[in-house]
Amino acid sequence: MRRARRWMPAMAVLVIAAGCSNTTDDDAVADATSSGAASTTNPAPTPWDPCTIPDEAIERAGLNVDTKESGVFGRDQNGFKICGWESQPSDSKYYFSIFVGLEGIDYIDDPSKFDRLQSVRVGTRDATQYQQVGADASLNCGAAFTAGTELIMTTLNTSALVDLVPYDPCTELSELTASLDSELPD
């Protein structure tokens, strides 16, 4: 139950972002096997994996390395590599996640998914702060920026069990992201 509460906001972003597709896995298999010719194409590029950030850097940022979780329920979502950690055990107030995909910054310009976009500076990077549509800004925050061809989205989701939030989620998110800046792609 605790894992489900933690990932629900992240899942909502990716499910909404996925939209509808008219291609199924069966169609892809049929196309790949029906041509009869061996494929020599290179595999599709994959985004950088945020779970490769060293544990020492995660601890310095104030996160609990023992809570590291790759993907959403162990799976990458919609082409995004995902990794997340809880705040330290004495706090256990929020969940911090990093999503990395091969998208441009315009990915978050969709008003059906994201709103309250605002230009901010996060560490050494120009970023766009955002909220998921319908999210409570007193509990959650997101920031996005590009690194080469990759979109990096960081999110902070406050635990549903917290009665009084002792921090501003966007300020806390900015500080966490800035503390990990040297570990993120350029």
Question: How is the chain split into domains, by residue range?
Answer: 49-183
At residue 163 the predicted structure's pLDDT band, cuts being 50, 70 and 90, is confident
Residues with Cβ within 8 Å of 127's Cβ and at least 6 positions away in sequence, in order, are 119, 120, 121, 143, 144, 145, 177
Mean pLDDT (whole number) for 75-99 = 88
Cα angle 143, 144, 147 (rounded to 5 degrees) comes to 140
Residue 143 DSSP one-character state:
E
Q: For residue 186, with 0-12 CB atoms within 10 Å meaning exposed, 13-18 middle and 19 or more buried, which class applies?
A: exposed
> Does 116 have pLDDT greater than 90?
yes
Residues with Cβ within 8 Å of 83's Cβ and at least 6 positions away in sequence, in order, are 49, 50, 51, 53, 68, 69, 70, 71, 97, 98
| pLDDT digit string, tens, across residues 131-151 | 999 899 999 999 999 999 999
Pick the CATH number of 49-183 from 3.40.1000, 1.10.3470, 1.20.120, 3.90.1140: 3.40.1000
> Does 58 have pLDDT greater than 60?
yes
CA–CA distance, 186 with 174 (Å, rounded to integer)? 17
